[in-house]
């Protein structure tokens, strides 16, 4: 079977078609490689194409099926991986020219898990230098363009992953998220972006040095997809245990059924710091959809939401400046150097005492949120206070940096407490996607995804390009 529309299918459908021999993995991979060849020169999402390896892997996948071998849940399905995540034989360059020859000898556990599940990597996706901006541009690979409108950011840092999925190059893009780097690109590109709970998905880059403490506390690996059911499938593949990550926790992917009706806390203006009218409207619209699905939706904000988000720079900035600034200044390029300058201006060094105080405060707030989740298992709120920002806004001025930081408050609160959250699209406004974020208690991705699926059923999103 040859089907030119195979690249339009979601991962669940493709996996089923391959498993039941309705289509070969090679045909699926060829369709996506053809799509990549057509659109990637415009969008610059995939910066290393692995066509030959992918086709060979597809042939092996088809041969395994012909022999009747047991196969994984993503057997023969194409994916992309991000250039800051180790994949054997590929550079882990993180968008930095000085790291272009840093070739990984082994896979990061998240990549290994995807491969074990049968996924086939078509290519490696772009990121900002050092994966430290909400805009995807760097001196090594250049800028990745948003397929909805090239004058607006595709998000970052997993911007290349998002565009590879939104433009039909693969149904699943692997990304990582410490301050919104999965959820925000998904929001900007009209996708589903899942940030799993801290400890859910194992990760470790064999090629790298030890990670900063703040990254150890808040960074996770997660998928970007066009459908919620694909996010659920990708999570199941990614979450397999690996002894390389001591933080991995083998919690069930499905938790106990919550009390019914499910109560949802609606927050349309987090911490009262301001959101655009269309952002508030889409959160309230999603709230009505959840009510129609049988939830009880109440306008109530979790404890000290603004204080939780404000802990992010207190926990992270000293750490990042200490570990990353020397390399950024020497090798990162003008964009990241300017961004770091604004970080320093906004967040003066807290020192060891300040970081310890933030960790103490984090424990207090985590307890309050646990109590809140006992009554409201889900929180519905914006992904960002604005729609996708104009390209390069974060480098224009300190005032622009402050505007962005304020808008991203809902993204920052989630990693501080190690929570799962999913960004799900709700529609299109002024030519750009809109969406909402649904967060829940740790290890309850199942609740977040179920609610996201109810929203998705009403949103009727489409691909940005045909």
Contact predicate 343/317, CB 8 Å: yes
Nearest to 161 by CA among 88, 87, 79: 79
Distances (CA, A) of 426 to 18, 275, 281, 404: 30, 16, 11, 21
Condensed to tens digits (0 to 9), the pLDDT of residues 395-443 reads: 999 999 999 999 999 999 999 999 999 999 999 999 999 999 999 999 9
pLDDT for 1: 47
**DSSP state string for 11-74:** HHHHHHHHHTTSS-HHHHHHHHHHHHHHHHHHH--EEEE-HHHHHHHHHHHHHHHHTT----TT
Helix residue spans in 117-250 (DSSP H): 159-166, 183-189, 213-218, 228-238
Query: What's the pTM value of the predicted model, to 2 decimals?
Result: 0.97
Positive or negative, the Cα torsion across 209, 395, 191, 446? positive
Contact predicate 18/25, CB 8 Å: yes
| Residue 155 tokens, joined | 């998000």
CATH architecture of 6-238: Alpha-Beta Complex (3.90)
Which DSSP letter does residue 83 get? T
Q: Is the peptide bond before 261 cis (omega within 30 degrees of 0)?
A: yes
Burial of 256 (0-12, 13-18, 19+ CB in 10 A): exposed
Identify each DSSP E strand in 262-344 by its residue range.
263-266, 296-299
Which residues lie closer than 8 Å to 292 by C-beta, 6 or more apart?
A: 458
CB atoms within 10 A of CB 273: 14
- H/E element, 454: helix 445-459
| Residue 84 tokens, joined | 């800051």
Cα–Cα distance for residue pair 393/379, rounded to 1 Å: 29
Where the chain has pLDDT below 70, the residues are 1-4, 466
Identify each DSSP E strand in 200-344 by its residue range.
220-225, 263-266, 296-299
Condensed to tens digits (0 to 9), the pLDDT of residues 28-65 reads: 999 999 999 999 999 999 999 999 999 999 999 999 99
Cα–Cα distance for residue pair 236/118, rounded to 1 Å: 12
Distances (CA, A) of 440 to 28, 118, 184, 289, 419: 35, 29, 17, 18, 6
* 3-class secondary-structure state, position 313: helix
Residue 209: HSE in the Cβ half-sphere, 13 Å Cα cutoff: 4
Positive or negative, the Cα torsion across 332, 121, 186, 41? positive
| Residue 289 tokens, joined | 């959809």
Cα–Cα distance for residue pair 40/32, rounded to 1 Å: 11
| Residue 238 tokens, joined | 């990614």
- H/E element, 428: strand 421-429
Indicate the average pLDDT of the chain.
96
Q: Which residues are catalytic?
A: 82, 157, 181
């Amino acid at each position: 079977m040859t089907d030119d529309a195979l690249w339009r299918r979601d991962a669940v459908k493709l996996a089923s078609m391959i498993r039941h021999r309705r289509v070969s993995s090679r045909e699926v991979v060829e369709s996506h490689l053809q799509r990549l060849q057509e659109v990637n020169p415009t969008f610059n999402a995939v910066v290393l194409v692995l066509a030959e390896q992918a086709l060979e892997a597809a042939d092996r996948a088809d041969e395994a099926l012909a022999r009747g071998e047991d196969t994984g849940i993503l057997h023969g399905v194409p994916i992309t991986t991000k250039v800051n995540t180790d994949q054997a034989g590929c550079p882990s360059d993180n968008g930095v020219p000085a790291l272009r020859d840093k070739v990984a000898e082994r896979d990061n556990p998240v990549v290994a898990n995807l491969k074990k599940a049968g996924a086939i990597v078509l290519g490696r996706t772009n990121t900002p230098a050092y994966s430290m901006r909400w805009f995807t541009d760097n001196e090594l690979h250049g800028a990745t363009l948003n397929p909805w409108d090239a004058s607006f950011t595709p998000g970052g840092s997993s911007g290349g992953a998002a565009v590879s999925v939104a433009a039909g190059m693969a149904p699943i893009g692997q990304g990582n998220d410490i301050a919104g780097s999965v959820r925000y690109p998904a929001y900007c590109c009209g996708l589903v972006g899942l940030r799993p709970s801290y400890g859910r998905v194992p990760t470790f880059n064999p090629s790298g040095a030890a990670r900063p403490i703040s990254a150890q506390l808040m960074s996770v690996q997660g998928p970007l997809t066009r459908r919620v059911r694909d996010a659920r499938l990708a999570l199941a593949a990614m979450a397999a245990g690996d002894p390389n990550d001591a933080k991995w926790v083998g919690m069930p992917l499905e938790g106990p059924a919550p009390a019914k009706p499910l109560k949802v806390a609606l927050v349309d203006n987090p911490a009262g710091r301001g959101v655009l009218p269309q952002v508030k409207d889409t959160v309230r619209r999603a709230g009505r959809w959840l009510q129609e699905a049988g939830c009880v939706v109440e306008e109530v904000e979790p404890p000290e939401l603004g204080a939780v988000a404000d802990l992010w720079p207190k926990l992270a900035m000293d750490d990042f400046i200490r570990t990353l600034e020397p390399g950024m200044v020497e090798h990162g390029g003008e964009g990241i150097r300017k961004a770091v300058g604004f970080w320093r201006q906004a967040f003066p060094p807290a020192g060891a005492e300040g970081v310890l105080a933030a960790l103490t405060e984090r424990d207090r707030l985590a307890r309050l949120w646990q109590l809140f989740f006992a009554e409201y298992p889900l929180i519905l709120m914006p992904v960002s206070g604005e729609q996708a920002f104009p390209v390069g806004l974060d480098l224009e001025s300190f005032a622009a940096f402050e505007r962005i930081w304020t808008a991203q408050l809902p993204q920052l609160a989630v990693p501080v407490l190690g929570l799962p959250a999913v960004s799900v699209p709700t529609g299109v406004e002024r030519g750009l996607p809109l969406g909402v974020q649904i967060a829940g208690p740790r290890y309850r991705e199942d609740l977040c995804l179920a609610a996201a699926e109810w929203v998705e059923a009403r949103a009727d999103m489409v691909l940005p390009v045909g």
